[in-house]
Structure 1
Amino acid sequence: MSEIKVADISHDQRLLVHEEAASTQSLSEKRRLASLDIFRGLTVALMILVDDAGGEWPAIAHAPWEGCNLADFVMPFFLFIVGVSIALAFKCVSNKFDACKKVGFRTCKLLFWGLLLQGGFSHAPDELTYGVDVTMMRFCGILQRIALSYLVVALVEIFTKNSHEETLSTGRFSIFKSYYWHWIVGALVLVIYLATLYGTYVPDWEFVVYDKHSILYGKVQSVSCGVRGKLNPPCNAVGYVDRQVLGINHMYHHPAWRRSKACTDYSPYEGSLRQDAPSWCHAPFEPEGVLSSVSAILSTIIGVHFGHTILHFKEHSDRLKHWISTGLALLALGLTLHFTHLMPLNKQLYSFSYTCVTSGAAALVFSVLYSLVDIMEWKRMFLPLEWIGMNAMLVYVMGAEGVLAGFFNGWYYRHPDKTLVDKLD
């Protein structure tokens, strides 16, 4: 296995052998949970697909604002997988200090790679342009969000784990009682997120347009807000917190909302902004920002719960019943919040309804893969995805971040500019 992975921070994920056919084996005999590797590989492959094909097929690209397209499932799937891995990796913690050191080291590695890959070093691999303008460096990103969720949830797992507990209590709701600290942390995260989202006053704000292709390049634009509790693109608390904490120049300059009908006539495709587009269409917005990343911790906590289920229930059928029922309940709750307009699905804000729907979908996908791979043992048909899952960081760096394209484009026989000069001569 590679040393560091996008969504599997542990080298020790295991599945206890428990079926009657293996009843004579010792409980210490373990094997890898192949379905989790395959789920991770599937998610990485999905990420590359939507990144490369999303421009041509906007139905699979990120939703411009409200809604949930195929690309919007990638991040919560990663966080769900991280949660499952945490539960399996720290099922027995003999030395909390050593465990914390490992968590801290892996968190730092994720932050390092996140800043390197998404901080702005590689501007355009196809054009071989590199270098970082530190005044415009992007601080947040996919790996940074994973690092935060991993750090918080792993520390909760470590410090609330009874390393001497071999068998958990029985009962229908015992799994919730046994890990009540995780749900307390989840409730605190939700309260902080909702209180900030609906209680923060968002004043008017200004920004400078840095898009060199815009006729407004270099000009100062103003956005009128002066509201509280709004979830629209220009005046939500998520963007306000990021502008205050990160600084507007350190946010993502190509937000998905530019494909909305208010911004372009080509919606839902990318295209030039309308001349009468509101000023906020030219503004940056961080889809992996501070407040939305706090909310994203919930996805990892839900994933930890599914990992605990593997330890808590010894029969495949019991695990699947719990996973499927929980997944359907999350889906129902999220869709109800969305269609009753209490809280719309929104990946950019990482709304609670979005957390529920995407976590519920992750639960069902994981259940299907677990049935096919770990129960029915149809592993061979998923070998490519398993390899990707076991080398997720390598594939992520080489594929999704354009490093592979930049490497190949860096080799040439004659420089393109020199060839053009020769033709003109």
Structure 2
Amino acid sequence: MDEAKKMEEGINTTQKDYHNGELKQEIERTNGNGESIEHDRDTRSTQEGESVQQIVEQEQPFVKQKTKRIATLDAFRGLTIVLMILVDDAGGAYPQIDHSPWNGCTLADFVMPFFLFIVGVAIALALKRIPKVKDAVKKIILRTLKLLFWGVLLQGGYSHAPDDLSYGVDMRFIRWCGILQRIALVYCVVALIETYTTKLRPSTLKPGHLSIFSAYRWQWFGGFVAFVIYMVTTFSLYVPDWSFVDYNSKEPKRYTVQCGMRGHLGPACNAVGYVDRQIWGINHLYSQPVWTRLKACTLSSPAEGPLRKNAPFWCRAPFEPEGLLSSISAILSGSIGIHYGHVLIHFKGHSERLKQWLSMGLLLLILGIILHFTDAIPINKQLYSFSYVCFTAGAAGIVFSVFYLLIDVCGLRTPFLLLEWIGMNAMLVFVMAAQGIFAAFVNGWYYQDPDNSLVYWIQNHVFVNVWHSERLGTLLYVIFAEITFWGVVAGILHRLGIYWKL
């Protein structure tokens, strides 16, 4: 989100910052906002026919000329925000687009890896040249802390928006993990690796298709370490029996889940949940996991519904979808995204970039599908499995390539302006729309009854009652009253030069 926007505000350097003899092979001239820039060389002008004493040296200042913006970055980020709003607010009416209850991948399951992918791309552009490593590290740490703060505030339980007008959280049950917290961890790790290896990165690539991988081997090594930690822990950690208290029932009751196994990838006895229970405490995990929509838990599957009378105990248990071990696996998504940013820097031609991006995207997509359908490693968002990383990162790479082809190569920018505007103010739209803060503010102004507010009136009278369908009315409300509305607001703010940056 907006941390990616801020990361894209790259560091412009003068010609003396480049290595001697490598000026003619200057790498991609794009700033962090995706705008290409030209630097005028220092020149000395003379008047012909005059004596040497009459020569006047004129030093021309650096001029930053904004020419073409890489709009794909903003459009892709905007697409991710739009998907989040759509699946969060319309997923209840259309469970087909909501998160998969366990194995599998739906539209909602692409949101998180798409976020991490574009964060990685932005890091590569923002940190391609770093004057002072210490200053960059301070900014990375500060931005990480800001993301953690906003994450806990918005998703820790303090905010009850948009429907509940109360606020506050019992610290015994505060949720420590969430979307922004995961982005903060991935951003911090990937950005620090990129920063500390700044002197090791080349200005030009050696010949060969795989040269870009060897040139940034430390970035890939960091992703490989995350992969090893996740895989070894997931398949070797022993998961004992565990118990929990169900506070959602009328009377709190304790249940015990029997495990005593290792390498299990099901809901009850996986290592991902065990690590979170041990580190955060079971009362600090997400209390409404999507696995309650499994057939084993409810007759309404894949939609939400009352639990079966004979439902397994774990159906009532909390589970953290943005937990620690799964977030370590998510570092791979950021590493793949930063590779796409490196391609953008080093390869000048559109065809070269697209060749690199599409080949890697298709390879990852195929690998994820093979791992899933051979039952080696199922695609699972809740566990953030390796096949899920490959499948979603491959899809992100392909979508990013298509956007780049349409927007930056073919110049079809107008159809994607709404996404661009949202992407430019992603943090604002995330907080106000995706987290429902603006809707909660409007709901606070009601007449006699909290349900008698402007938001509910628009939902019922403009959409649901007109179309005589709650499902269709909900979908149209999300598309027009939320996505389109905030797209226009973001466009106006862009015209005014107003952005919410962390």
DSSP-derived class of the 1:207 partner: strand
Amino acid at match of 1:128: L
1:42 and 2:79 matched = yes
8 Å contact from structure 1 (residues 207, 222) kept in 2 = yes
Residue number in structure 1 paired with 2:432: 398
| Alignment partners' CA distance in 2, 1:282 and 1:413 | 37
The count of residues paired between Structure 1 and Structure 2 equals 407
Amino acid at match of 1:10: M
1:415 is displaced (CA, Å) by: 5.5
Distance 1:264 1:398, change over 3 A: same
| Alignment partners' CA distance in 2, 1:152 and 1:385 | 28
Amino acid at match of 1:262: A
Of residues 235, 244, 258 in structure 1, which corresponds to 2:292? 258
DSSP-derived class of the 2:5 partner: coil
8 Å contact from structure 2 (residues 4, 123) kept in 1 = no
8 Å contact from structure 2 (residues 202, 215) kept in 1 = no
Residue number in structure 2 paired with 1:410: 444
Distance 1:176 1:165, change over 3 A: closer
Amino acid at match of 1:310: L
DSSP-derived class of the 2:274 partner: helix
1:234 is displaced (CA, Å) by: 0.5
8 Å contact from structure 2 (residues 77, 115) kept in 1 = yes
Distance 1:166 1:130, change over 3 A: same
1:349 is displaced (CA, Å) by: 0.2
| Alignment partners' CA distance in 2, 1:298 and 1:398 | 29
TM-score after normalising by structure 1: 0.92
1:381 is displaced (CA, Å) by: 1.4
8 Å contact from structure 2 (residues 299, 308) kept in 1 = yes
1:168 is displaced (CA, Å) by: 3.2
Distance 1:334 1:11, change over 3 A: closer
Of residues 380, 383, 386 in structure 2, which corresponds to 1:352? 386
8 Å contact from structure 2 (residues 156, 175) kept in 1 = yes
| Alignment partners' CA distance in 1, 2:369 and 2:381 | 14
1:414 is displaced (CA, Å) by: 3.9
DSSP-derived class of the 2:198 partner: coil
Give CA deviations for 1:157-209 in whole Å, capped at 9, x if unaligned: 00011289533333221101110001111111111100000000000000000
Of residues 241, 244, 254 in structure 2, which corresponds to 1:207? 244
The range that moved more, 123-132 or 170-179, is 123-132
| Alignment partners' CA distance in 2, 1:25 and 1:108 | 35
1:9 is displaced (CA, Å) by: 4.1
1:82 and 2:119 matched = yes
8 Å contact from structure 2 (residues 8, 122) kept in 1 = no
1:417 is displaced (CA, Å) by: 11
Of residues 395, 398, 414 in structure 2, which corresponds to 1:380? 414
1:10 and 2:7 matched = yes
| Alignment partners' CA distance in 2, 1:293 and 1:348 | 10
Residue number in structure 2 paired with 1:127: 164
Q: Percent identity, aligned pairs only?
A: 60
1:378 is displaced (CA, Å) by: 1.1
Alignment map for 1:145-294 (pairs within 5 Å): 145-162=182-199, 165-211=202-248, 214=249, 217-294=251-328
| Alignment partners' CA distance in 1, 2:9 and 2:180 | 21
| Alignment partners' CA distance in 1, 2:309 and 2:405 | 53
8 Å contact from structure 1 (residues 65, 346) kept in 2 = yes
CA RMSD between the two structures: 2.1
Residue number in structure 1 paired with 2:347: 313
| Alignment partners' CA distance in 2, 1:54 and 1:29 | 45
The range that moved more, 24-33 or 184-193, is 24-33
1:90 is displaced (CA, Å) by: 0.3
8 Å contact from structure 2 (residues 8, 125) kept in 1 = no
Residue number in structure 1 paired with 2:149: 112
Give CA deviations for 1:391-410 in whole Å, capped at 9, x if unaligned: 00100000111111110011
Q: Which runs of 4+ in 1 moved over 3 A?
A: 6-9, 13-17, 23-32, 163-166, 413-418
| Alignment partners' CA distance in 2, 1:24 and 1:359 | 30
TM-score after normalising by structure 2: 0.78
Amino acid at match of 2:9: D
8 Å contact from structure 1 (residues 168, 312) kept in 2 = yes
8 Å contact from structure 2 (residues 246, 316) kept in 1 = yes
1:25 is displaced (CA, Å) by: 5.9
Larger Rg: 2
| Alignment partners' CA distance in 2, 1:417 and 1:230 | 45
Of residues 329, 340, 347 in structure 1, which corresponds to 2:363? 329
Give CA deviations for 1:262-318 in whole Å, capped at 9, x if unaligned: 000000000011111000000000000000000000000000000000111111100
Unaligned runs of 5+ in 1: 18-22, 419-425
1:144 and 2:181 matched = yes
